[in-house]
Structure 1
Amino acid sequence: MSFKKALFLAIIVIVIDQVSKIYIKTHFAIDDFIKVMNLEWFRIHFIENDGMAWGVELPGDYGKLILTLFRIIAVGGILYWLHDSVKKKGSAILIVAIALILAGAVGNIIDSVFYGVIFNDSHGQVATLFSDQPYGTWFHGKVVDMFYFPVWKGYLPDWIPFWGGNYFTFFNAIFNVADAAISVGVGLLILFNKKVFK
C-alpha cells in the first residue's frame, strides 16, 4: 500500500470521526441518549472527557495541556512510523493498522485543541458551533464520546472473587470513531503480529 493511500484512509476516518462528533455536539446535551433501533444494548449516549482512556485525568492546571502536547508529538512519531513502514514495503495489514492509529490519535487531538474555543458548554443545552461564549481555551477542549453498548447489566454471582454480588455492566465504556480506529489498529497489530513484525 502506498503512503498516499494510507493517508487517504486516515483522512476518511478523521472526517467520519469529526462529522459524528460535531453532529452529537450540535444535537445532544451532555448525558442525552437515544436507543438505536429501540435496542437496550446499543445507544448513542453523549458524554465528554478530558482525553485520556477510561476518564483518567492528569492533575493540575497544566495536565490537559501536557497531555495534548504529548499526543501531538506522538502523532509525529506515528506518521514517521507509517512513512518508514511504506518505504520498507511493510505488509498491507501493518500499514492499515498504523493509518487507523494515526487517524484515531488525530481525531481526538482535534477535539482537545479546537473544541474548547469553537463550542459553548453542552451541560443542560445543545452546544452551538462557533459560539461567542466558548467553554474553554486552546488545547483545553474536551473529547466527545457517543457509542455505548451496555450488552449486559446485572448482579454478578457471589462466587466470583472480588466482584461477586456487585452490580456490573458489560460493556461499560462510551467511545467515539477515533477510539474505535485506534482499537482496531492495535487489534490488527496484535492478531497479525507474526506477519507484520517479521
Structure 2
Amino acid sequence: MKYRHVIWIVALVLVLDQALKFWIKTHMNFSQEFIIFPNWFRIHFTENPGMAYGLELGGEWGKVILTLFRLAAVVIGFKYMKTLVKQQHHTGLLICGALILAGAAGNLIDSMFYGLIFSETNFYDVATFLPKNGGYASFLHGKVVDMLYFPVYRGYLPSWVPFKGGEYFVFFNPIFNIADAAISVGVITILLFQKRFFHKHIAKEATEKEAVAATK
C-alpha cells in the first residue's frame, strides 16, 4: 500500500463527513430529527464543543487546548503514517490508521472553522453559511456537528439489574458523526487484529537483527 492510498482514504472520509455536516447545518434546526429506520436509526442534529460522542473538556481554554491537541495529532499522524508506509506495515493497519487520521481531521475542521463560517443554530432557524454579521464563534471555538443516532433499545431495566434496576435505559445513546465512526472503527479493528497486523513486521525486524548480529 502506498502513501497516496492513505491520502485517498483520508480524503474520502473527509468529503463524506463534511458533506453530511454541511447539509445538516444548513437544512436542520437544532435537535430536529429524521427517522430513517423506525426505533433504531435516526438523524438527530446536535452539536458539542468537545470530544467524540459528546465528551467535553471544560471551559474556553479547555476548548482551545483540545483543538490544538487535535491539530498536533493530525500533523504528527500524517508524518507517522508516511513512516509506516515506508516500513511496509500490514495493509489493514495502514487502512485503520488512515481512518483514525481522517476522523481526527474531520472533527478538527469543525472546531477550527465552523464558528467562523456558520451562524448560530437554534431550535427555530437553520444556520446560515457565511453570514453577513460573522459566525457564531471565533477561530478554534467551533462546535462539532453530530447527527447519527442509533437508539436500538429503549425501555425500563428489570428491577434485578444492579444499581440501574427500574431505570429508563437507551442503547445506544451517544449521537456521533462519520468522523467519530471512522476513529472507532479504526481503533477497534486494530485492537481485534493487532497480532495479524504486527506479527509480520515484528518477525521481519527480528530477522534483520539476527542478520546484523551474524555479521559481527
Alignment TM-score > 0.5, same fold: yes
Instruction: Indicate if the aligned counterparts of 1:35 and 1:42 stay in contact, CA closer than 8 A.
Output: yes
The residue matched to 2:27 in structure 1 has which SS? Answer: coil
How far 1:69 sits from its partner (Å)? Answer: 0.2
Larger radius of gyration: 2
Structure 2 equivalent of residue 188 of structure 1: 189
Q: Deviations over 1:97-122 (max 9, x none)?
A: 00000000000000000000000011
Q: Any unmatched runs of 5+ in structure 2? A: 200-216
Q: Deviations over 1:60-87 (max 9, x none)?
A: 3211111000111111222122111101
1:6 partner letter: V
Instruction: Indicate if the aligned counterparts of 2:52 and 2:180 stay in contact, CA closer than 8 A.
Output: no
How far 1:168 sits from its partner (Å)? Answer: 0.4
Following the alignment from structure 1 to structure 2, what is the Cα–Cα distance between the partners of residues 40 and 132? 40
Structure 2 equivalent of residue 150 of structure 1: 151
Following the alignment from structure 1 to structure 2, what is the Cα–Cα distance between the partners of residues 2 and 170? 39
2:141 partner letter: H
Structure 2 equivalent of residue 114 of structure 1: 113
Instruction: Indicate if the aligned counterparts of 1:31 and 1:45 stay in contact, CA closer than 8 A.
Output: yes
Following the alignment from structure 1 to structure 2, what is the Cα–Cα distance between the partners of residues 174 and 36? 15
Structure 2 equivalent of residue 6 of structure 1: 6
1:39-50 aligned at under 5 Å gives the runs 39-50=38-49
The residue matched to 2:44 in structure 1 has which SS? Answer: strand
Number of equivalent positions = 197
Following the alignment from structure 2 to structure 1, what is the Cα–Cα distance between the partners of residues 99 and 105? 10
Following the alignment from structure 1 to structure 2, what is the Cα–Cα distance between the partners of residues 197 and 78? 18
2:48 partner letter: N
Structure 2 equivalent of residue 161 of structure 1: 162
2:194 partner letter: N
Q: Any unmatched runs of 5+ in structure 1? A: none
Structure 1 equivalent of residue 36 of structure 2: 36
Q: Which moved more, 1:127-136 or 1:148-157?
A: 127-136
1:42 partner letter: F
TM-score normalised by structure 2 residue count: 0.88
The residue matched to 1:45 in structure 2 has which SS? Answer: strand
* Higher fraction of helix: 2
Q: Which moved more, 1:41-50 or 1:126-135?
A: 126-135
TM-score normalised by structure 1 residue count: 0.96
Structure 2 equivalent of residue 87 of structure 1: 86
Instruction: Indicate if the aligned counterparts of 1:45 and 1:146 stay in contact, CA closer than 8 A.
Output: yes
